[in-house]
Chain A
Amino acid sequence: MTTKYAETEQRQAAVKHVGRPVDRVDGRAKTTGEARYAAEHRHPGMAHAALVHATVARGRIESLDTEAARAVPGVIEVLTHENAPPMKPAPKRSLLNLSSLASGTTVSYLGTDEVHWNGQPVAVVVAETPEAARHAATLVRVTYRELPAVVDFAAEEPNAVQQKGSMIQPAGGDKGDAAVALAAAPVSVDLRFTTPPHHHNAIEPHATVAVWDGDHLTVHESTQHIAWLRRHLALRFGIPERAIRVLSPYVGGGFGGKYAVWAGTLLAVLAARATARPVRLALTREAVHRTVGARTPTVQRVALGADAGGDLTALIHTSVAMTSRIGGMPEGVVSPSRHLYDAATIHLRQRLVRLDLLANTSMRAPGDSVGSFALESAMDELACELGMDPVELRMRNEPARNPMDGKPFSHRMLREAYEVGAERFGWRERDPGAGSMRDGRWLVGMGVATAYHPSMVMPAAVTVRMDAGGEVVVRCALQEIGVGAATVQAQIAADELGVPLEAVRVEIGDSELPEGPGAGGSAQTASGAEGVLAACRKLKESALALARRSPDSPLRGRRLDDLEARDGGLHHGGDGETYAAILARAGRDHLEAGGRTGMLKFLARALNDRRRWVKAACGAHFCEVRVDQDTGEVRVSRWLGVFDIGRVINAKTAAAQLRGGIVMGIGMALSEASQVDPRTGRIMNPSLAEYHVPVHADVPPIDVQWLDVPDPTMPLGLLGIGEVGITGVAAAVANAVRHATGKRVADLPITLDKLL
């Protein structure tokens, strides 16, 4: 346990706001229509852009006919590779400059006649109205010289190559000889799983409003990473970062899809430069599917061997996923198998195929969401083979230390989560026989699965300012994608300073603010919290230093660690002073403090931390489904998730995040799949009418509970909650369906054709 957070722990004895179900500070703005999203910013003279997408997977543009498009009244310009101003190439990827990971693809949009995927933008129409731009875009005629393309993931599987590991993420590993152990195991299962590509489908499509003023650029954008976006734009357009302002106060959902920088953003900025007009490019839903990466499809094998008592003797988990010839993120698909079970032998491998498709990208719990589906389904099947309760099987194999390398867990209360959950869900009432529970025409099934997601902290610069009137302003360029970013940091600052919640205002969503972490990796709240804690401490030190200068101050001779921040000031027992009194005596109208962690220091600390600990949020999902005996229709009827997520800052927003992950997981289990035409590489269902996300009727009341025990190594003890909720969900559904019907569906989504 590090001392820093142990101290924090004690000070938290006086918490007032952290942990409470505080209403969102932006609830009013979001329910009245006052909140403005990227596409809703208007500038004088603003023009509108629309994209023309390539219709072949790979090739060269032979000819472009823009005459008809140009003839549409209101069309200002049609940009193609023949006339667009150049952009600088995408930067080489480097872990020392994490923002280099911001490139969605390596393509020079409108800088080449090469087509790299079916859907790549090959022209941009700029017009006076959005209607004219969209209509004209349909009139651009492009001919291609097609080149052979590799677009069929399933067919390409035999050609997969070994994935390279990195410092942050190993791609494989062995403990003992799992193949031998599997062959010798008295009980075993060996299953093949497939998962399709998934699209984030945030309800707000990506949008950019770009405004050039000389060499100064303002961008209204829907982004999960303001700092990366600004750095990336500076690189691509050859201007200094300080000449760019990115504004992103409200983001209409992200889920990973707005983390990297995609074509639409760059082309809006390019079009604005080329036409010397402010340009809005609001992607259509189809354009989101065509130009923003998705979650990779996977093929996985999980083989488990156990002795007759259920102790795992072998765990084999291998995967094939995709990247693209133009980028893409190799996923850590087998990651859950590194951490979940104390198997005597383990064999892990990840392989990749490279396709001529749009680069894949991270989507809520990359790796862990799809990997947990396979591992946790296989565990359930093993429980069936053993005739053992699936909760008991998991608890038998619950490791005391990280299975692959023996590192200690900073914190792990999965056993408690299952105990609490089994009791609360009524797990003991489950008749283990397949198809044994019925309710009229419905076959009832109950399934469990483990949730697991690694925790981390990214650098965040935060300033805190307090004025003589007691108003506190916390400033950090965080992104509000729905998590309650400003709300939770206000709660933390109010407690740290001992001031009322109403006195704290948190400014976010603007690159002029101190640089924040991205909203990703379940790390934004912890990262912001670390910055807020540090800045608040410095501010209190400044206040104390001012007080100690005066012989009259009751704080004279005191150390900050002996004091309690409460009632708008610093106190020691009955003695103390308000900040207002300290400031007034010193003749100051405000105090301000802040700090930032440099990237090198951050990396050094992160690596050191990784050497010492394995840290993660985890949980136990309990699911009940009803399957129609004749049609195979699956309805999720009950859900309980019990989570070990460290300290919870806001009971209301935390519950929402966890539920949101579960809802997305239900979609993954039962309905979501992007269909790629294996001949042309074209996505066939690029719309919300054909890509089915869960609707109200698909989602039962979801009971979420947490153990609320702080992690000793994380800021304020919080482990991050944005992604853990979705992990394990698809498996819990599949396991419940197996219980209801006796059928193991290993290919997502579990549609009724697979049950008939």
Chain B
Amino acid sequence: MRVNGAVESLDVQPWVSLLDALRDRLGVTGPKKGCDQGACGACTVLADGVRINACLALAVQYDGREITTVEGLASGEELHPLQAAFIRHDGLQCGYCTPGQLCSAVAMLAEHRAGMPSAVTERSGELTEAEIRERMSGNLCRCGAYNGIVDAIRDVAAQEAR
């Protein structure tokens, strides 16, 4: 398995979740455990660029795959545009859901670019606020930083469009 570009070799029992493998075995603690049952999205990571709930994935299923966590989003010291936008728009409070929100947002923008529709997609295909809210609804934020998160994503999407 490659985690944030580095090859990691792990010997785990078949019942170990990808989330526990990352957090407890590899010390990659960016992905968070909020519910351990796919209800909160705090554990969202990218598997070959696609967002998944790492708590619902078994580590052994991801043998040989490319996993990106929040730790892998920045390029060295330079933050990913979404990370910078989350800070600028205050799209976070306690920070615990933030890694999942960020990974989810990265993949969500890619899904939209690829033309994948959501339940609220209109003919124009424009990335409206309603689209972002719909597509991000798998990531809970109990602090209620939703407005800031949506603003940050819109900001980055607009930058990308330019």
Point out residues on A near B: beta carbons under 8 Å. Answer: 23-24, 26-37, 39-40, 42, 129-131, 200-205, 250-255, 282, 284-285, 480-484, 652-653, 655-657, 659-664, 687-689, 693-697, 699, 701-702
Report the Cα distance A663→B143, complex, angstroms: 8
Instruction: For the A-B complex with A284-B36, A659-B146 known, give 18 more contacts whose Cβ atoms are closer than 8 Å.
Output: A23-B90, A24-B92, A31-B98, A31-B99, A32-B73, A33-B29, A130-B24, A252-B94, A285-B37, A653-B93, A657-B93, A660-B143, A687-B35, A687-B39, A688-B40, A695-B137, A696-B133, A697-B137
Quick one: given A24-B87, A285-B34, A688-B40, are A699 and B98 in contact (CB under 8 Å)? no
Quick one: given A40-B29, A204-B34, A693-B142, are A131 and B95 in contact (CB under 8 Å)? no
Contact status B99-A33, CB under 8 Å: yes
21 pairs across A/B with beta carbons < 8 Å? A23-B88, A26-B95, A31-B95, A33-B28, A33-B30, A33-B31, A37-B96, A131-B16, A202-B96, A203-B32, A203-B34, A203-B94, A203-B97, A482-B143, A656-B93, A695-B137, A696-B149, A697-B133, A697-B137, A699-B133, A701-B147
Contact status A202-B13, CB under 8 Å: no
Which residues of chain B come closer than 8 Å to A251, judged between CB atoms?
94
CB 8 Å contact bits of B102-142 with A (1 = contact, 0 = none): 10000000000000000000000000010011101111111
Which residues of chain A come closer than 8 Å to B92, judged between CB atoms?
24, 27, 30-31, 482
Q: Is B69 an interface residue (CB 8 A)?
A: yes
Contact status B87-A23, CB under 8 Å: yes
Which among A30, A200, A282, A694 is the interface contact of B144 at CB below 8 angstroms?
Answer: A694
Q: Which residues between 15 and 50 of chain B lie within 8 Å of chain A, taking CB atoms?
A: 15-16, 20, 23-24, 27-40, 42
Q: Which A residue sits closest to B82, measured CB to CB?
A: A31
Report the Cα distance A27→B148, complex, angstroms: 13
Quick one: given A130-B24, A203-B96, A689-B39, are A32 and B29 in contact (CB under 8 Å)? no
Quick one: given A33-B99, A203-B142, A656-B148, are A482 and B93 in contact (CB under 8 Å)? yes
Report the Cα distance A39→B71, complex, angstroms: 18
Q: How far is the CB of A589 from chain B (nearest CB, A)?
A: 31
Contact status A130-B20, CB under 8 Å: yes
Q: Which A residue sits closest to B119, measured CB to CB?
A: A697
Report the Cα distance A40→B30, complex, angstroms: 9
Report the Cα distance A287→B29, complex, angstroms: 21
Contact status B133-A204, CB under 8 Å: no
Contact status B86-A31, CB under 8 Å: yes
Report the Cα distance A470→B113, complex, angstroms: 49
What's the dominant secondary structure at chain B's contact region?
A: loop
Report the Cα distance A285→B129, complex, angstroms: 31
Quick one: given A656-B148, A688-B39, are A252 and B27 in contact (CB under 8 Å)? no
Report the Cα distance A90→B150, complex, angstroms: 45
Contact status B144-A662, CB under 8 Å: yes
Contact status A253-B142, CB under 8 Å: yes
Contact status A255-B33, CB under 8 Å: no
Which residues of chain A come closer than 8 Å to B134, judged between CB atoms?
696-697
Report the Cα distance A202→B90, complex, angstroms: 18
Which residues of chain A come closer than 8 Å to B24, judged between CB atoms?
129-130
Which residues of chain A come closer than 8 Å to B74, judged between CB atoms?
32
- Give the interface centre of A31, A254, A284 by most chain B CB atoms within 10 Å: A31
Contact status B139-A696, CB under 8 Å: yes
Which residues of chain B come closer than 8 Å to A481, judged between CB atoms?
94
Q: Which B residue sits closest to A26, measured CB to CB?
A: B95
What's the dominant secondary structure at chain A's contact region?
A: loop
Q: Is B54 an interface residue (CB 8 A)?
A: no
Which among B16, B96, B136 is the interface contact of A696 at CB below 8 angstroms?
Answer: B136
Q: Which B residue sits closest to A480, measured CB to CB?
A: B94
- Among all A-B residue pairs, the 8 with the closest Cβ atoms: A33-B30, A663-B144, A252-B96, A30-B95, A482-B93, A482-B94, A660-B144, A27-B87
Q: Is B53 an interface residue (CB 8 A)?
A: no
Q: How far is the CB of B76 from chain A (nearest CB, A)?
A: 11
Report the Cα distance A452→B93, complex, angstroms: 23
Q: Which A residue sits closest to B80, measured CB to CB?
A: A31
- Give the interface centre of B30, B69, B71 by most chain A CB atoms within 10 Å: B30
Q: Which B residue sits closest to A661, measured CB to CB?
A: B144
Report the Cα distance A26→B95, complex, angstroms: 9
Q: Is B70 an interface residue (CB 8 A)?
A: yes
Report the Cα distance A666→B43, complex, angstroms: 25
Q: How far is the CB of B89 from chain A (nearest CB, A)?
A: 9
Q: Which B residue sits closest to A666, measured CB to CB?
A: B144
Which among A32, A36, A284, A659 is the interface contact of B70 at CB below 8 angstroms?
Answer: A32
Which residues of chain A come closer than 8 Å to B146, judged between CB atoms?
659, 663, 694, 696, 699
Report the Cα distance A194→B98, complex, angstroms: 35
Quick one: given A659-B147, A688-B34, A701-B147, are A250 and B83 in contact (CB under 8 Å)? no
Contact status A252-B95, CB under 8 Å: yes
Which residues of chain B come closer than 8 Å to A661, judged between CB atoms?
144
Q: Is B79 an interface residue (CB 8 A)?
A: yes
- Give the interface centre of B83, B95, B136 by most chain A CB atoms within 10 Å: B95
Which residues of chain A come closer than 8 Å to B156, judged between CB atoms?
none
Q: Which A residue sits closest to B25, measured CB to CB?
A: A129
Which residues of chain B come closer than 8 Å to A694, judged between CB atoms?
144, 146
Q: Is B67 an interface residue (CB 8 A)?
A: no
Q: How far is the CB of B46 from chain A (nearest CB, A)?
A: 13
Which residues of chain B come closer than 8 Å to A200, judged between CB atoms?
142
Which residues of chain B come closer than 8 Å to A688, judged between CB atoms?
34-35, 37, 39-40, 140
Report the Cα distance A296→B2, complex, angstroms: 48
Quick one: given A250-B95, A688-B140, A695-B137, are A31 and B83 in contact (CB under 8 Å)? yes
Report the Cα distance A654→B40, complex, angstroms: 25
- Give the interface centre of A203, A653, A699 by most chain B CB atoms within 10 Å: A203
Quick one: given A30-B98, A130-B24, are A285 and B142 in contact (CB under 8 Å)? no
Which residues of chain A come closer than 8 Å to B149, judged between CB atoms?
696
Report the Cα distance A37→B147, complex, angstroms: 24
Report the Cα distance A34→B142, complex, angstroms: 20
Q: How far is the CB of B122 from chain A (nearest CB, A)?
A: 15
Report the Cα distance A204→B96, complex, angstroms: 6
- Give the interface centre of B42, B92, B141, B144 by most chain A CB atoms within 10 Å: B144
Contact status A482-B133, CB under 8 Å: no
Q: Which B residue sits closest to A36, measured CB to CB?
A: B29
Report the Cα distance A701→B35, complex, angstroms: 27
Contact status B144-A653, CB under 8 Å: no
Which among A24, A131, A695 is the interface contact of B90 at CB below 8 angstroms?
Answer: A24
Contact status A702-B147, CB under 8 Å: yes
Quick one: given A131-B15, A689-B37, are A656 and B143 in contact (CB under 8 Å)? yes
- Give the interface centre of A26, A30, A282, A284 by most chain B CB atoms within 10 Å: A30
Q: Is B145 an interface residue (CB 8 A)?
A: yes
Report the Cα distance A284→B79, complex, angstroms: 32
Which among B13, B36, B96, B102 is the interface contact of A31 at CB below 8 angstroms?
Answer: B102
- Give the interface centre of A252, A282, A285 by most chain B CB atoms within 10 Å: A252
Which among B136, B140, B147 is the interface contact of A693 at CB below 8 angstroms?
Answer: B140
Contact status A131-B144, CB under 8 Å: no
Which residues of chain B come closer than 8 Å to A254, judged between CB atoms?
94
Q: How far is the CB of A24 from chain B (nearest CB, A)?
A: 7
Report the Cα distance A26→B92, complex, angstroms: 10
Contact status B136-A653, CB under 8 Å: no
- Give the interface centre of A33, A697, A699 by most chain B CB atoms within 10 Å: A33
Quick one: given A203-B32, A250-B94, are A696 and B39 in contact (CB under 8 Å)? no
Which residues of chain A come closer than 8 Å to B98, judged between CB atoms?
30-31
Contact status B71-A33, CB under 8 Å: yes
Q: How far is the CB of B33 from chain A (nearest CB, A)?
A: 7
Q: Which A residue sits closest to B20, measured CB to CB?
A: A130
Which residues of chain B come closer than 8 Å to A26, judged between CB atoms?
95
Which residues of chain B come closer than 8 Å to A697, judged between CB atoms?
133-134, 137
Report the Cα distance A482→B96, complex, angstroms: 9
